[in-house]
Amino acid sequence: MLDRLTGMQVFVRTAQQGSLSAAARQMKMSPAMATKHVDALEERLGIKLFHRTTRKLSLNESGRQYLEFCLRILPDIEETEAAVSSQRIDVVGTLRLSAPISFGVRYIAPLVPEFSAMYPGVTVDLGLNDRYVDLIDEGWDMTVRIGRLADSRLIARRLAPTKMVVAATPAYLDAHGRPRRVGDLLDYNCLSYSLSDATGAREWIFGTRNQLRVPIRGNFIANNGDALVAAALNGQGILYGPDFLIADHVAAGRLELLPLDQPAYDMAGIFAVYPPDRRPPAKVRAMVDFLADAFAGVPAWQVD
């Protein structure tokens, strides 16, 4: 009898890739064996999971429902299996870790010495980039991502909360007045982050369900959060960004939070994200657990 867990994993890879041969390559098995696993799974379930043509496979409704189920339970099964199947797996090798620039400089890089002391056999290759990084295509072992996750192929573990805040220098607000409603922002110089739809050059997103698009205008757009913070600190305008960017400046009185009449954009959190391997490398599991422990509790960047 074919292994049920492997059958589920082959099914997930096939659904994600739209190809049995691509799934077979990822699983390091022959296309014939991958086909046997999918056929056995469909026979066991008593339903077909795919629409099949000569050119491609696509999920039918039953397949979509089963994919959602597999994506929910497979990480727990695989983690449990990995934990009990080996007393000790050496944590060694090069760990390619991607992170956003501002968060990586502030909160990831300072933790690396502690991680290295715990796992001297691991070399951490930290790549900082604010653009979207494709882990699988670009060969990263894992990434730290901030905000909502769009790629269902990946496994994510929430590390910490974060929230969006609106802020400016007290001097700027004394000179221009303090907005009370999101609609007032159109009367101010707004500093925009070009890599996020939530804080674009023409509108910012607010609301309990991220449904409120507020028109704004301003004379500075940047693709890096620290550049926007620098502009705000020099009195150029109002900043809308994650709390971890400005917590120290708020605590020191250099920036002032602006409580507006609508909730800020819901960031969902900060996540460790890695590819859906059947058994993630020990170095990846070690870093994910390490970061989860490091960021447990009230985050250092929390602002009121």
The residue out of 66, 85, 104 marking a domain boundary is 85
pLDDT computed for residue 1 by the predictor: 52
- Whether residue 303 lies inside any domain: the answer is no
Residues 150-193 pLDDT 10s: 766 788 999 999 999 999 999 999 999 999 999 999 999 999 99
pLDDT-derived band at 74 (thresholds 50, 70, 90) equals confident
Compare 155 and 245 and report the one with higher pLDDT: 245
Judge if 130 and 69 occupy the same domain. no
The residue out of 57, 85, 113 marking a domain boundary is 85
Q: Which amino acid is it at 287? A: M
Mean pLDDT over each residue of the chain, to the nearest integer: 90
Query: Which CATH number belongs to the domain containing residue 76 in this structure?
Result: 1.10.10.10
The residue out of 69, 85, 101 marking a domain boundary is 85
- Whether residue 300 lies inside any domain: the answer is no
pLDDT-derived band at 62 (thresholds 50, 70, 90) equals very high
Residues 117-160 pLDDT 10s: 999 999 999 999 988 888 888 889 999 999 887 766 788 999 99
pLDDT computed for residue 83 by the predictor: 62
Highest-pLDDT range among 53-57, 133-137, 138-142, 300-304: 138-142
Residues 268-281 pLDDT 10s: 899 999 988 757 88
- Whether residue 302 lies inside any domain: the answer is no
Q: What is the DSSP string of 2-38?
A: --HHHHHHHHHHHHHHT-HHHHHHHHTS-HHHHHHHH
Q: Which residues contact 297 (CB under 8 A, 6 or more apart)?
A: none
- Whether residue 130 lies inside any domain: the answer is yes
- Whether residue 299 lies inside any domain: the answer is no
pLDDT-derived band at 204 (thresholds 50, 70, 90) equals very high
Helix (H, G, I), strand (E, B) or coil at 111: helix
- Phi, psi angles (nearest 5°) of residue 236: -80, -25
Compare 88 and 264 and report the one with higher pLDDT: 264
Using the predicted structure, report yes or no on whether residue 34 has a pLDDT greater than 50: yes
Residue 176 domain boundaries: 164-257
Judge if 188 and 240 occupy the same domain. yes
pLDDT-derived band at 87 (thresholds 50, 70, 90) equals very low
Using the predicted structure, report yes or no on whether residue 86 has a pLDDT greater than 60: no
Q: Name the domain count of the chain.
A: 3
Judge if 77 and 122 occupy the same domain. no
The residue to which tokens 């994919």 are assigned: 67
The span from the CA of 164 to the CA of 28, in Å, is 43
Residues 246-256 pLDDT 10s: 999 999 999 99
Query: Which CATH number belongs to the domain containing residue 282 in this structure?
Result: 3.40.190.10
pLDDT computed for residue 289 by the predictor: 94
Q: Is the pTM of this model over 0.85?
A: no
Judge if 176 and 153 occupy the same domain. no
Using the predicted structure, report yes or no on whether residue 230 has a pLDDT greater than 60: yes
Judge if 170 and 251 occupy the same domain. yes
